Amino acid sequence: MSFRHVTHFTVEFGDCDPAQIVFYPNFFRWCDAASRHFFVAAGVPLWSELEQTTGIIGTPLVDASARFLRPATYGDAIEVETMIDEWRGKSFVMKHTLRRAGEVLVEAQEIRIFARRHPEDSKRIQAVIAPDGIRRLCE
């Protein structure tokens, strides 16, 4: 059974668009934040600390997708349940289920890598195998 973490958000007025519903990129913003909260809850250090010890600067995405089942609007309390669904060497699949009062609003998936700056060109990033210590914390 995989480690799961729930992050709580409130939909704000400014998160909604003229159609009165959440502007959809904000759902990805919450998924990204939920990913970080998942790692913190699992005991993984902040990226800024990890950079000093492992060179890892974050977990940029290689793929993201979402199915939007129900709209949400401001005032809504949203729960994002996050888990790592699959480990694939240098990448891994995060699954986010966004609910309001138990009802699923959005099912999202992020495929991420552990990234460090490229040793020969600090402007580029490079995927690295998930460190064992981090992986154990998330399982």
Minimum separation from the CB atom of position 15 to its own copies (A): 9
Q: Site for its own copies (CB under 8 A): how many residues?
A: 41
**Six-digit token pair at 39?**
């790692």
Q: Quick one: 61 or 93, whose CB is closer to its own copies?
A: 61
In angstroms, how far is CA 107 from the centroid of its own chain? 12
Q: In sequence order, what are the beta bridge partners of 72?
A: none
Is residue 16 near its own copies by the rule CB under 8 A? yes
Phi, psi of 55 (to 5 degrees): 80, -5
Is residue 17 near its own copies by the rule CB under 8 A? yes
Which of 15, 17, 121, 132 is the catalytic position?
17
Please list every residue from 72 through 91 that binds its own copies, using CB under 8 A.
Answer: 73-75
Q: Is 76 a catalytic residue?
A: no
**DSSP H or E stretch at residue 67:** strand 61-68
Please list every residue from 34 through 53 that binds its own copies, using CB under 8 A.
Answer: 36, 40, 46-48
How far apart are alpha carbons 95 and 1 in whole angstroms? 14
For 132, residues 6+ apart whose C-beta sits below 8 A from its C-beta are: none
Which residue ranges make up the site for its own copies (CB under 8 A)? 10, 12-14, 16-21, 23-26, 28-29, 32-33, 36, 40, 46-48, 57-58, 60-68, 71, 73-75, 115, 123, 125
